[in-house]
Structure 1
């Protein structure tokens, strides 16, 4: 075999071998093209990544730096600030929401600075709802230090036991600086006050006397609702409804009795005895008129420990000298001692009590009319009179 024949044979065998390895219909040129395209695709991805990275480092790098810088070292004021700003933290607000509001008000330079300061102080869960007085352009740390419960803006109102509703409303208006007419209107519109059904849609007797702390934005209606809520809590604790049923009275009647006890008693230790006098008179056969001066004074909107003969002629249903039984409703807002006394009267047969020493708040009790007359004479000698 010559050289030509050998080369030809080898070439044929080489082409045949490669033909078997290639897919059908593919030529040698097509295969080379695919290999070249694959090589180009492998270079494009790294090249594109490089271009994007260069763009970030170049044109976008400045803004990325600013974002990172703000995240790590946010804008913050220094010092205690100036001026005055009132911040209200609403119930359920998060620290981040408070931070955004502080930034909007100009108190802190950035919300991020405040949230960082909260985290550093470990107070993220200690922000209490309420109104707080702050300053503009304060450091975030100083703002956090001022947002403590002790710094809340509150109107503290103390309502003494036994005050009539009209007096209670006046005290509230004076202490909070809100118009008295708003309290009067709120007291008449009792639909949203959550009064118990036995209150008969009347607030008198159910605005519980206590000390209250009200936020600056608390409305008169919300204040009265808070007082009613406090009454409802007291009534539940004392089992007012169950106790009334055991005594054969309604809860409303117990509250009327408690209000009279509150108005007539000079000392808490006399309350249960005064309550017993009221029950003894109501339970006599035939019933005995209560003849309580405090109910007459309520009818006439006056304040004295005893009524004159002329005043006893009033036709008001609150005149317990003229009408038998209890008056239509409470004559004051009794405290827990008076309510407790109405539910747990002392044991005794007394039918009378006389404030024999009004200045010393001394009250004495009698069973007979003769004993009562002796107590009235003692009262007169001490410069007073009542019964």
Structure 2
């Protein structure tokens, strides 16, 4: 009999039941798999939602948080605003120091506050976590700048200037140490190479008012003064190679002259005496040689063998005898026209100076000066 089932014949009942049970098992397994898949999907979605929430939370917080600190601030912090700093630069500096919350907050406040235009370079004592407007108020008030000032008058010597600067709190010993390395202060080689100078920085400490901020040192302050002198030489148009002569001559005019209007005449006298081969014979240079102050000198001092003593050397002294100002520098560059060979400051109190071409005229002026000395015995 053939193994092929004939059409119309059905499987035995037991086989049917076994097949139905297998199908039911398969349905239940698929149902369980679907349920697990749904549960896994729900867990994944929950985890993803949590991650999104925690990831977005800082962003949401930053979007909803105030853009500026709310209060007047606490504590204190020193902040230095550099020269030429823009509003954005100032804001960045303040934000880094945690004075304001952000550079943007400061810039936004500065754009609305006209006081921001008054902010000057310098060092300020501010508070931590201030409002931007509060920071602007402190920065715009010059009283809050942490600065000391000193003023150097025209004609002061290096030794005098050291004492003046030391009053700001910079140690005198630091200033004296810094002066021993003139090249480190920016003094050019054409000056530092000179031999026999009492103070290589003499002539280079430009007279004016300076500011000293926290953190400034003897070197930084003296360097600023040297820079001022070099800038003045450039502004005056001093020819290259003539800087030393101009500084030295200007220092003589500054030390000898009582009135700046006389400087050009004095410069002409020095030129005329140089052309004749005469010594200058100036008490100011002799006083510097012996490191003394006064309007007269003694014969012993005038006989001093010093490269600064113009009773001893012919022509200019070895270097500047004080620190000249702009008027003296300009006069050294542009002497007045004239034939004068002598000058005498007949009244040191008023600075009145008389000029002469002949020795006889000069003697009359000397006699007038001597009378002043007799009338003012304490003036020498």
**TM-score normalised by L of structure 2:** 0.76
Structure 1 position 308 matched with structure 2 position 298: yes
Structure 1 position 234 matched with structure 2 position 232: yes
Distance apart, 1:160 and its partner CA: 0.8
Is the Cα–Cα contact under 8 Å of residues 199 and 206 in structure 1 kept in the other structure?
A: no
Gaps of 5+ in 1: 1-38, 245-249
Structure 1 position 169 matched with structure 2 position 127: no
Decide whether aligned partners of structure 1 residues 49 and 123 sit closer, same or farther in structure 2, where only a CA change above 3 A counts.
Answer: farther
Q: Which moved more, 1:262-271 or 1:46-55?
A: 46-55
Partner of 2:185: 193
Distance apart, 1:153 and its partner CA: 2.0
Is the Cα–Cα contact under 8 Å of residues 182 and 192 in structure 2 kept in the other structure?
A: no
Partner of 2:94: 98
Q: Secondary structure at the match of 1:306?
A: coil
Distance apart, 1:193 and its partner CA: 2.2
Structure 1 position 372 matched with structure 2 position 362: yes
For residues 198-244 of structure 1, the C-alpha deviation after alignment (integer angstroms, 9 at most, x for no partner) is 323521111211222232212211111111211121111212125x7
Provide the C-alpha distance between the structure 1 equivalents of 2:44 and 2:140, rounded to a whole number of angstroms.
52
For the aligned residue pairs, the C-alpha RMSD in angstroms reads 3.4
Structure 1 position 55 matched with structure 2 position 44: no
Provide the C-alpha distance between the structure 1 equivalents of 2:164 and 2:148, rounded to a whole number of angstroms.
12
Partner of 1:27: none
For residues 114-162 of structure 1, the C-alpha deviation after alignment (integer angstroms, 9 at most, x for no partner) is 6424423328997765310123554443123323383432222221111
Decide whether aligned partners of structure 1 residues 281 and 67 sit closer, same or farther in structure 2, where only a CA change above 3 A counts.
Answer: same
Is the Cα–Cα contact under 8 Å of residues 164 and 332 in structure 1 kept in the other structure?
A: yes
Q: Which of the numbers 178, 186, 202 marks the counterpart of 2:170?
A: 178
**TM-score normalised by L of structure 1:** 0.75
For residues 65-111 of structure 1, the C-alpha deviation after alignment (integer angstroms, 9 at most, x for no partner) is 455334432473423x4654322345775633431312xxxx55xx3
Q: Which of the numbers 324, 346, 360 marks the counterpart of 2:314?
A: 324
Q: Secondary structure at the match of 1:322?
A: coil
Is the Cα–Cα contact under 8 Å of residues 196 and 232 in structure 1 kept in the other structure?
A: no
Residues paired across the two proteins, number? 329
Decide whether aligned partners of structure 1 residues 66 and 154 sit closer, same or farther in structure 2, where only a CA change above 3 A counts.
Answer: same
Partner of 1:158: 151
Partner of 2:123: 131
Provide the C-alpha distance between the structure 1 equivalents of 2:337 and 2:216, rounded to a whole number of angstroms.
45
For residues 308-335 of structure 1, the C-alpha deviation after alignment (integer angstroms, 9 at most, x for no partner) is 2222122222111122121110001111
Provide the C-alpha distance between the structure 2 equivalents of 1:149 and 1:196, rounded to a whole number of angstroms.
39
Distance apart, 1:179 and its partner CA: 0.1
Is the Cα–Cα contact under 8 Å of residues 350 and 367 in structure 1 kept in the other structure?
A: yes
Gaps of 5+ in 2: 1-33, 194-199
Provide the C-alpha distance between the structure 2 equivalents of 1:121 and 1:358, rounded to a whole number of angstroms.
54
Structure 1 position 119 matched with structure 2 position 119: no
Provide the C-alpha distance between the structure 2 equivalents of 1:369 and 1:44, rounded to a whole number of angstroms.
121
Q: Which of the numbers 355, 358, 362 marks the counterpart of 2:352?
A: 362
Counterpart mapping for 1:229-268 below 5 A: 229-241=227-239, 250-268=242-260
Is the Cα–Cα contact under 8 Å of residues 118 and 144 in structure 1 kept in the other structure?
A: no
Provide the C-alpha distance between the structure 1 equivalents of 2:208 and 2:225, rounded to a whole number of angstroms.
8
Decide whether aligned partners of structure 1 residues 45 and 297 sit closer, same or farther in structure 2, where only a CA change above 3 A counts.
Answer: farther
Q: Which moved more, 1:143-152 or 1:226-235?
A: 143-152
Partner of 2:332: 342
Decide whether aligned partners of structure 1 residues 52 and 356 sit closer, same or farther in structure 2, where only a CA change above 3 A counts.
Answer: same
Distance apart, 1:356 and its partner CA: 1.0
Q: Which moved more, 1:258-267 or 1:122-131?
A: 122-131
Provide the C-alpha distance between the structure 2 equivalents of 1:241 and 1:197, rounded to a whole number of angstroms.
16
